[in-house]
C-alpha cells in the first residue's frame, strides 16, 4: 500500500505551511551556482502542490521569499525574481489543470513591476479554482505582518470604529493578511534546520511542526504524504488533557 492510500482522509490537515529550505546548499553540494538549486526547487513545488491536491489538502502556503532575503547578493536576488516570473508564466497552466487557486501574502510592493504584474495576472486567472489554494509568502515577514495588523486596529480605535475593550484574537486574526485562510495545522521545514524564521508566527500557534533532513529540491509528494502520516499519529490537545480530547 502506498503512502497516499495510508492517509486518513478524515484527519487531513486543512492547511499545510512549508519552509522550502536548502536550495543553495543542494546546488553547492553539486558544484553548481545557488540559483541552480532554486530552479530545481520549482520542480519540487510542482510535485508537492500536485500531491496536496491528490491528497485533498485544501490550503498550502509556501515560504517563497522573506523580507530578509532582499539582503542576499544582488545577482542572486535578480535571478530569483526572473525565475519567479518565468515560473508563474510556465506553471499557471498546471495550476489551472489541477484546479489550484493562486494567492500571495507579503509586501508585494517591493517586487519588481514585471514580477508583480505577472503574479497578479496569475492570481486573477486562477481565482475561480476550488481544489486547493496555494499561497506564496513573498517579500514576507511575520513580524511586519503583525505590526501592520496592530496599525490597522489602532487606526480603527483612533477613528472611533472600534473600542479597545472589544479587541480580541478574532479581530486580530482578521487584520492579518491570512484573514481568509485557516491557520496551518502542520508546518514542514526541509534541510534539517530547526527554526521558524519569522514565518506565520501568529498563525502557527497550535500547528504541529515537522522537520526533515531532506533539502527542498529533493522533496517530493511522497515526503509530503509521510509528513501528513506523522501528523495523523499525533495527539492534538490544545491545552487539554488526553482524557478530555478522547
9's grid cell = 482522509
Which sign does the torsion angle of CA 53, 88, 136, 20 carry? positive
Averaged pLDDT score across all residues of the chain: 95
CB atoms inside a 10 Å sphere around CB 68: 11
CA atoms of 17 and 152, how far apart (whole Å): 25
pLDDT at position 245, please? 67
Catalytic residues, by residue number, are: 21, 69
Q: What is the pLDDT of residues 53-103, one digit of tens each?
A: 999 999 999 999 999 999 988 888 988 888 898 899 899 999 999 999 999
pLDDT at position 58, please? 98
The single residue listed with the C-alpha cell 522537520 is: 211
Q: What is the pLDDT of residues 161-181, one digit of tens each?
A: 999 999 999 999 999 999 999
Amino acid at each position: 500500500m502506498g503512502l497516499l492510500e495510508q492517509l486518513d482522509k478524515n484527519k487531513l490537515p486543512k492547511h499545510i505551511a512549508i519552509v522550502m529550505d536548502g536550495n543553495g546548499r543542494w546546488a553547492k553540494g553539486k558544484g553548481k551556482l545557488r540559483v541552480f538549486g532554486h530552479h530545481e526547487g520549482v520542480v519540487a513545488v510542482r510535485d508537492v502542490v500536485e500531491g496536496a491536491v491528490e491528497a485533498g489538502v485544501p490550503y498550502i502556503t509556501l515560504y517563497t521569499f522573506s523580507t530578509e532575503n532582499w539582503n542576499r547578493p544582488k545577482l542572486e536576488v535578480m535571478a530569483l525574481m526572473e525565475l519567479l516570473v518565468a515560473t508563474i508564466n510556465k506553471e499557471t497552466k498546471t495550476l489551472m489543470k489541477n484546479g489550484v487557486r493562486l494567492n500571495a501574502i507579503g509586501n508585494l510592493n517591493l517586487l519588481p513591476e514585471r514580477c508583480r504584474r505577472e503574479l497578479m495576472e496569475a492570481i486573477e486567472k486562477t481565482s475561480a479554482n476550488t481544489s486547493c489554494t496555494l499561497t506564496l509568502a513573498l517579500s514576507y515577514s511575520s513580524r511586519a505582518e503583525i505590526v501592520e495588523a496592530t496599525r490597522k486596529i489602532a487606526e480603527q480605535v483612533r477613528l472611533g470604529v472600534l473600542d479597545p475593550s472589544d479587541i480580541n484574537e478574532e479581530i486580530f486574526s482578521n487584520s492579518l493578511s491570512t484573514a481568509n485562510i485557516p491557520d496551518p495545522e502542520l508546518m514542514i521545514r526541509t534541510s534539517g534546520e530547526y527554526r521558524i524564521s519569522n514565518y506565520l508566527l501568529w498563525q502557527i500557534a497550535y500547528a504541529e511542526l515537522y522537520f526533515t533532513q531532506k533539502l527542498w529540491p529533493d522533496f517530493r509528494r511522497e515526503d509530503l504524504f509521510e509528513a501528513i502520516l506523522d501528523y495523523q499519529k499525533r495527539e492534538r490537545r490544545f491545552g487539554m488533557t488526553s482524557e478530555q480530547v478522547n
